[in-house]
Amino acid sequence: MEIRMNSLLLETINNLPPLPATVSELRDYINTAGDNLELSKVATIISKDPLLIAELLKLANSPYYGISRQISTIPQAVSLLGVSNVKNTILADAVKKKFVVDVSPYGLDTDTFLRYSAEETEFISNWLNKEDKALSDTLIPCAMLLRLGMILLSSILIKSNKDKEFLAENMKNNFQNIHELEDKYCGIDSLSFLGFLFDYWKFDEILIQSVTYINNPHSASSETKKSAYALSIINCLFEPYNPLSSFNCKKAIALIKEAKTQNITFDIENFMEKLPNTAKANLQKEDEEV
């Protein structure tokens, strides 16, 4: 089983759908231009693809970025969001559209899974937009794709007819130690796979490192430690089996306190204020029961 599953993992990687040509051109130009990068060239590449124009303007005007005025042109979007953010967000959006989502091997309802995945991205903006807008903008592509590893491992399990066996063992474990089970069946856990995918698609190094250290942000470099902690907090808060539960809220708060010991400061009052209403209600309910 293990050899076959690793073979399927390799096959999945080799058969990842190609990015649209314009998206690849944009990424490669920005990644190689260095000091010679020209905003006009970035705008020209994007302008080749009417669908890409529409998607970028839609994203630029989405609640994620909290921009008060309407963005109506590509140069406006590039200037306001920054070249790296434009590249990473366009990449994330293009990747996201390539995959059919079925997370039934995990015992999760796909519609609910997708709803909470969307809320993760929205929460990044709500939480950090005023406290640290640059960090918020940087992490939006990560939040957009945070559960992609689970989506692809689900596909592998279904293709190999191991989905029911995986689910049965997952249920037997009471949906605990999920990453150990992923590694057993697929040769890799979903978050490690996500880090590999970010590197494969040539996202910015800060995003690759933030994903790589999501489970141990204290080990991240000084340059990426804050982004790794922020992503770890989001991952904990929206953990797929108990999203926004009082337990996961408290784990997220503990991470904020841990970050402070690493000289990384988040405004905990702001975090509590910006928590989704479901999380606030769950915390209040537990307090009332104590």
Same domain, 50 and 82: yes
pLDDT of residue 165: 96
pLDDT of 2 higher than 70: no
Domain-located, residue 50: yes
Task: Note whether 167 and 106 are within 8 A (CB).
Answer: yes
Same domain, 138 and 204: yes
Domain-located, residue 4: no
pLDDT of 70 higher than 90: no
Same domain, 57 and 198: no
pLDDT, tens only, 196-233: 999 999 999 999 999 999 999 999 999 999 999 999 99
pLDDT, tens only, 146-193: 999 999 999 999 999 999 999 999 999 999 999 999 999 998 999 999
Q: How far is the C-alpha of 235 from the C-alpha of 225, rounded, in Å?
A: 15
Q: What is the CATH number of the domain that holds 133?
A: 1.10.3210.10
Percent of the chain with pLDDT over 70: 97
Which domain covers residue 51, as residue numbers?
18-98
pLDDT of 3 higher than 60: no
Same domain, 233 and 142: yes
Listed residues 66, 98, 130: the one ending a domain = 98
Same domain, 60 and 31: yes
Q: How far is the C-alpha of 80 from the C-alpha of 75, rounded, in Å?
A: 8
Domain-located, residue 116: yes
pLDDT of 91 higher than 80: yes
